[in-house]
Amino acid sequence: MSESSDGPSGGGTARPGARTAIVTGGASGIGRAVCRELSRRGVHVVAADIDAAGAERTAKEFGCASAGLDVTDARAVRDLVHRVRDERGRLDFVFNNAGIAVGGTADELTLDHWNRTIDVNLRGVVHGVHAAYPIMVEQGRGHIVNTASLAGLTPAPLMLPYTATKHAVVGLSLALRAEARAHGVRVSVVCPGFTDTPLLDHANPGLPQTATGAGARESATRTMGRLYSVDSLAGDIMRGVARNRALIVAPASGRLAWRGVRLSPAAAVRVAALAVRRLRG
């Protein structure tokens, strides 16, 4: 059995019969904070990540289970989702959260940048949905929570593959929500602005580096003024999920930017062009 198809390890401290969640990207950043918040609420959590050791650290810290998982491997995702449902007898939440940051100008990004981003950020979510949704339909309940980005709602430049995949995740999630309603299944999509996680320190992982990718944290800080805290975001996500929100957009400056796009897409593109000039110049 390959590492990516490892089953969950560690039992967690949730009581038998507790609600059950799988969180991809659970080793770090937003996924790790979501694991913590769910565990605090008595949910049996499986922290799944390509960084199996990191997922195990999350599990030890918050009393959950862990699994090594590469979300680009459809069979491994399916195996994990089914194994968790079979072992726990239920599947209440799947957080398709794992993702990578990719940055650079449109002319310097290679097809490898595009393909890797599509594989992780889009196909990773597709694999999670494809594995979990039929189970939830059969149960007549369940909640799929996909992590997109504010870049999935705005014309975010200098990271085209990232922006494209996040727009796709927003579209997929909202359309699935419409279908899922009749089956008692909930779907939400999380769209955070720049948040203070390790993601911003390793843009373009395993790919040719670019000036934009290397300076991701600095650019994000210049754009936002101050990066959003991952703990605040985890609180927003918990509230949004409890209220079954379609879109969970945070922080407030992100909601403002999103409103601007809806009011005038053309003006939003002009603002994005100004940001490109400022960041590059």
Residue of 80, 145, 199, 249 interacting with ligand NAD (CB under 6 A):
199
Nearer to ligand NAD, 89 or 172 (CB): 172
Least Cβ distance, residue 239 to ligand NAD (angstroms): 17
Residue of 7, 51, 87, 90 interacting with ligand NAD (CB under 6 A):
51
Please state the three-class secondary structure of the chain as a single string: CCHHHCCCECCCCCCCCCCEEEEECCCCHHHHHHHHHHHHCCCEEEEEECCHHHHHHHHHHHCCEEEECCCCCHHHHHHHHHHHHHHHCCCCEEEECCCCCCCCCCCCCCHHHHHHHHHHHHHHHHHHHHHHHHHHHHHCCEEEEEECCHHHCCCCCCCHHHHHHHHHHHHHHHHHHHHHHHHCEEEEEEEECCECCHHHHCCCCCCCCCHHHHCHHHHHHHHHCCCECHHHHHHHHHHHHHCCCCEEEECHHHHHHHHHHHHCHHHHHHHHHHHHHHHHC
Q: Is 228 a catalytic residue?
A: no
Give the active site residue among 162, 194, 228, 258: 162
Least Cβ distance, residue 44 to ligand NAD (angstroms): 20
Nearer to ligand NAD, 104 or 183 (CB): 104
Binding flag, residue 98, ligand NAD (CB under 6 A):
yes
Nearer to ligand NAD, 13 or 229 (CB): 229
The token pair that represents 136 in the structure block: 């939830």
Nearer to ligand NAD, 66 or 210 (CB): 66
Binding flag, residue 103, ligand NAD (CB under 6 A):
no
Nearer to ligand NAD, 4 or 20 (CB): 4
Binding flag, residue 254, ligand NAD (CB under 6 A):
no
Binding flag, residue 157, ligand NAD (CB under 6 A):
no
Binding flag, residue 30, ligand NAD (CB under 6 A):
yes
- Which spans of this chain sit near ligand NAD (rule: CB under 6 A)? 24-25, 27-31, 49-51, 54, 69-72, 97-100, 120, 124, 147, 149, 192, 194-195, 197-200
